[in-house]
Amino acid sequence: MLNLKKFFIFKQLSENTEATYRFSLGRLESWANENQLVLEKLEEEGVQAFFEAQTTWNHNSKYSAYCAVRAYFRWQYGDSHPVLSFHMKREKTSPQRSLDSDQLL
């Protein structure tokens, strides 16, 4: 079972970030239980399999979850945990569309 209460006290995250981390870490815990895996023994391949299983998540959702997983494992188990060997690149997003002066009301 994840020790989220102490983690969030230690990290002092914003309300939205905490909600995102809580959701992502909860999904990881559920996935690990479904696959009969122990979180503290999870390795790089296990985390990769978790993200591959999230077929309905877009890349930004996966990247946010990746940040949550890394932060939690670093806090709980230290810098040498095998999960921290897993890396995910952040995709570059296209510039947001904006109106030019002729399109303004």
Does residue 95 lie in a domain region?
no
* pLDDT tens readout for residues 51-101: 999 999 999 999 999 999 999 999 999 999 999 999 998 877 777 777 777
What is the pLDDT at residue 2? 84
Which residues touch 26 (CB under 8 Å, ≥6 apart)? 2
* pLDDT tens readout for residues 4-15: 999 999 999 999
- CA dist 82 and 55 (Å) reads 24
Does residue 65 lie in a domain region?
yes
For residue 105, pLDDT beyond 70: no
Does residue 60 lie in a domain region?
yes
Is residue 82 within 8 Å of 41, Cβ to Cβ? Answer: no
Helices of type H across the chain: 4-11, 15-34, 44-53, 59-77
Report how many domains make up the chain. Answer: 1
What is the pLDDT at residue 100? 75
Does residue 102 lie in a domain region?
no
Which residues touch 78 (CB under 8 Å, ≥6 apart)? none
Does residue 96 lie in a domain region?
no
Does residue 7 lie in a domain region?
no
Does residue 56 lie in a domain region?
yes
* Residue span of the structural domain in which 36 resides: 13-87
* pLDDT tens readout for residues 30-56: 999 999 999 999 999 999 999 999 999
Provide the whole-model pTM.
0.82
